[in-house]
Amino acid sequence: MIKRSVISPTKILEFESSAQLTCRNYSNSWNTQLRELAKLGLFKEGLELYRQMLRFGDSPNPFTFPFALKSCASLSIPISGSQLHCHVIKTGCEPEPFVQTSLISMYSKCSLIDNARQLFDESPQSRKLAVCYNALLAGYTHNSQPSKAMSLFNQMCFSGVPFNSITMLGLIPACTLPAHIRFGMSLHGCNVKCGLDSDLSVVNCLLTMYVRCGLIDFGRKLFDEIPKKGLISWNAMISGYAQNGLASQVLDLYGKMESSEVEPDPVTFVGVLSSCAHLGAQRIGHDIEKRMACSSFGVNSFLTNALINMYARCGNLGRAWKLFDEMPEKNIVSWTAMIAGYGMHGHGEIALQLFSEMKLTGIQPDGAAFVSVLSACSHAGLTDKGLEYFSEMERKYGIRPGPEHYACLVDLLGRAGRLKEAKELIDSMSVKPDGAVWGALLGACKIHGDVKLAELAFERVIELEPTNVGYYVLLSNIYSDADNMEGVAKIRVMMRGRKLRKEPGCSYVELKGKVHLFVAGDRNHPQTDKIYEMLNRLEDLMEEMCASTKPKTYDGRRKKETVAGVHSEKLAIAFGLLNTIAGTEILVIKNLRVCGDCHLFMKLVSKVVNREIVVRDASRFHHFKDGDGVYAYTGLAFAE
DNA sequence: ATAGGGTTAG
């Protein structure tokens, strides 16, 4: 032990100042390390380093807190955040404006928005800088309080605090609701006036706002006007198309991106894979998977789930299962993608088995998981099981059923012929039924030939979706099935009056990574002659085969083609048969429902060529193979 | 040295 008396007062002074200096130096090196960790996104490690610093007996200084608080914010740990708030007060760092802002941001990101507001209100007017407003604004936006974000922006303008591009980045996403899009558009105008629209981040943000609101053309216009598009611009546009179901636009844009100098990243691939899933473009999806393997970034759960979803929806359940099985941490999205995949392909029992396994691993099902479970029940004809799950959903998990769940349930009851119950269910709904709900009822009326109920469902559905041509066609076909030609004519007049035209249905087949698209009567494909030749041969074979049956089961080409000519599904199948060898699967996708006549055609083709044929349409997969029974179908094509 | 922000799956 050092005797104090040996050290002179000057020595003590020297010692103390050097100690202080050391302490400050320590603080600096702690801060440097903290900054490095934060930069690398290693927030857990950063927080651990902060604790180590305290154990070491070093005191944090004002420069320490922003990093430590940012770590709490990123990890969303309000307890550590509040502790840090105490340290801020103890060390007297509270008045520092940047510490204040860090605190506001931390509370916002930990969902303690009211604490953030309190801090903001307590700080004097002179210290409420733009950054403070920015942090709180973004907080309101991320805590789903868009109106508060907007009124804070008004307060900011009123107080004369100048806003900047970062204000916009926090505020614009608050306008991503139909109710607020007007405000968003006025912000767009405001940005143009202030010249903030030259900031790429702001434009990306506006672009995202438009596409998320479904104003996809606005978004595309903005995108096209960007002189130097960044990775995020591409991603926002690709994801926007993907979220709006415009899958072929996604592939188109991805192709353009590949020939630009911007390299795609995982976010790009997630959007592209989701579109491959919608298109059934498994080969393109597989190419993306290979392309990802040679990229520098690693796989993440978003990517793996997107791959699982793509393979599952394309019918490659084996590959989907392998990826799923090898996933170290499966989340609810992984499980839901598998459940939906099995459900779509008629393996309802496996889908339900997966659902109970998921619950056993401790994952709580959410609304989307129940949609996949209910639709699996509907596709597999497990009516009562579906009803059980529906009641379990609210009773056991407290999930309020949305219109999407009711639509599944109406479909479930409707397919089973329980139309009266389906109608009663709609009448008892706690939320307003949407087009899909009434549309499901209308579809069920088609299967079971209930004209009266169909008329009611039609009336409701076109109130909600007056321009959805599919519903007009559906009712017209119901009338046609009932030999009510007056009804058919009535619908045609109605459609003409409203200037509605049936979009041509198209079918596509994917071959060697390229999508081949056909519309009815198509003659644009380079192999057109061979395709029609193949169709003729098939029809001859079928006629030969069916000649002996009484009554004749097929009188194909002379009957029931579309106005434009041969059905698109038939062209796609003929193309597929021409270009693939025996044993390979042909998957045809149709953007509308497969028409009834084509069901019979497919079944017979699969018999004469002795191959399984899979057609996916707007509502489900259809597997055609020899020996299958009768199909219940609903056709969307006009019965001519 | 220090604070605020934009793109992703079922």
Dump the DSSP string for A328-354: SS--HHHHHHHHHHHHHTT-HHHHHHH
Question: Rounded CA gap, A65 and A84, in Å?
Answer: 8
Q: How far is the CA of A587 from the C1' of B8 (A)?
A: 28
What does the domain layout of chain A look like in residue ranges?
29-163, 330-400, 403-502, 506-545+565-630
Nucleotides of B strand lying within 7 Å of any protein CB atom:
1-10
pLDDT tops 50 at residue A16: no
Q: How far is the CA of A419 from the C1' of B8 (A)?
A: 40
pLDDT tens digits, A302-341: 999 999 999 999 889 999 999 999 999 999 999 999 999 9
Q: How far is the CA of A367 from the C1' of B10 (A)?
A: 10
Nucleotide nearest to A30 (CA to C1'): B1
pLDDT tens digits, A338-367: 999 999 887 899 999 999 999 999 999 999
First to last CA, chain A: 106
In the predicted model, what is the mean pLDDT of chain A?
86
* Residue pair A174/A182 in contact by the 8 Å Cβ criterion: no
Nucleotide nearest to A339 (CA to C1'): B10
| DSSP codes joined into one string, A13-59 | HHHHHHHHHHHHHHHHHHHHHHHHHHHTT-HHHHHHHHHHHHHTTPP
pLDDT tens digits, A126-149: 888 899 999 999 999 999 999 999
A426: Cβ contacts below 8 Å, ≥ 6 apart: A406, A410, A433, A437, A438, A441
Q: How many C-beta atoms lie closer than 10 Å to residue A326's C-beta?
A: 8
Closest CA to A217 of A188, A247, A246: A246
* Residue pair A303/A323 in contact by the 8 Å Cβ criterion: no
Q: Which residue is nearest to nucleotide B3 (CA to C1')?
A: A98
Q: How far is the CA of A210 from the C1' of B7 (A)?
A: 14
pLDDT tops 60 at residue A520: yes
Strand-pair category, A506-511 with A613-616? unpaired
Nearest 10 degrees: CA dihedral of A398, A399, A401, A405?
Answer: -130
Residue that is written with structure tokens 């307003």 in the block: A432
pLDDT tops 70 at residue A576: yes
* Choice between A607 and A213, residue whose per-residue pLDDT is larger: A213
* pLDDT score at A630: 28
Question: Rounded CA gap, A52 and A38, in Å?
Answer: 16
Q: Residue A558: pLDDT band by 50, 70, 90 thresholds?
A: very low
Nucleotide nearest to A133 (CA to C1'): B4
Q: pLDDT exceeding 70 applies to what percent of chain A?
A: 89
Query: CA angle, corner A619, sides to A568 and A495, nearest 5?
Result: 65
Q: How far is the CA of A32 from the C1' of B3 (A)?
A: 17
* pLDDT score at A480: 85
A347: Cβ contacts below 8 Å, ≥ 6 apart: A317, A380
pLDDT tops 70 at residue A521: yes
Q: Which residue is nearest to nucleotide B2 (CA to C1')?
A: A63
* Residue pair A73/A143 in contact by the 8 Å Cβ criterion: no
Closest CA to A410 of A455, A368, A453: A453
* pLDDT score at A461: 95
* pLDDT score at A628: 40
pLDDT tens digits, A373-420: 999 999 888 999 999 999 999 999 999 999 999 999 999 999 999 999
Q: Residue A427: pLDDT band by 50, 70, 90 thresholds?
A: very high
* pLDDT score at A631: 28
Q: How far is the CA of A401 from the C1' of B2 (A)?
A: 48
Nucleotide nearest to A234 (CA to C1'): B7
Q: Which residue is nearest to nucleotide B1 (CA to C1')?
A: A63
* pLDDT score at A165: 93
Helix (H, G, I), strand (E, B) or coil at A549: coil
Strand-pair category, A621-624 with A613-616? antiparallel
Strand-pair category, A514-519 with A506-511? antiparallel
pLDDT tens digits, A591-628: 777 766 676 778 778 878 888 788 877 666 777 765 44
* pLDDT score at A157: 92
pLDDT tens digits, A249-261: 999 999 999 999 8
Q: What's the predicted TM-score (pTM) here?
A: 0.77
pLDDT tops 90 at residue A510: no
Q: In what order do the strands lie in the sheet with A514-519?
A: A514-519, A506-511, A586-590, A613-616, A621-624
DSSP A262: P
Q: How far is the CA of A250 from the C1' of B9 (A)?
A: 16
Q: Residue A202: pLDDT band by 50, 70, 90 thresholds?
A: very high
Nucleotide nearest to A368 (CA to C1'): B10
Nucleotide nearest to A204 (CA to C1'): B6
Q: How many C-beta atoms lie closer than 10 Å to residue A127's C-beta?
A: 14
CATH fold of A403-502: 1.25.40
pLDDT tens digits, A269-304: 999 999 999 888 888 899 999 999 888 888 889 999
* Residue pair A150/A171 in contact by the 8 Å Cβ criterion: yes
* Residue pair A177/A162 in contact by the 8 Å Cβ criterion: no
pLDDT tens digits, A53-110: 998 888 898 999 999 999 999 999 989 999 999 999 999 988 888 999 999 999 999 9
Residue that is written with structure tokens 């691993």 in the block: A361
* Residue pair A439/A471 in contact by the 8 Å Cβ criterion: yes
pLDDT tops 50 at residue A536: yes
Q: How far is the CA of A189 from the C1' of B9 (A)?
A: 33
Nucleotide nearest to A240 (CA to C1'): B7
Tell me the residue type at A117. R
Q: Is A469 exposed, middle or buried, given 0-12, 13-18 or 19+ CB atoms closer than 10 A? A: middle
**How would you classify residue A263: left for phi > 0, otherwise alpha for psi between -120 and 50, otherwise beta?**
beta
* Residue pair A566/A537 in contact by the 8 Å Cβ criterion: no
* pLDDT score at A619: 61
* pLDDT score at A25: 56
Nucleotide nearest to A211 (CA to C1'): B7
Strand-pair category, A514-519 with A621-624? unpaired
Q: How far is the CA of A14 from the C1' of B10 (A)?
A: 66
Q: How far is the CA of A69 from the C1' of B5 (A)?
A: 17
DSSP A591: S
pLDDT tops 80 at residue A552: no
* pLDDT score at A19: 42
Q: Which residue is nearest to nucleotide B10 (CA to C1')?
A: A333
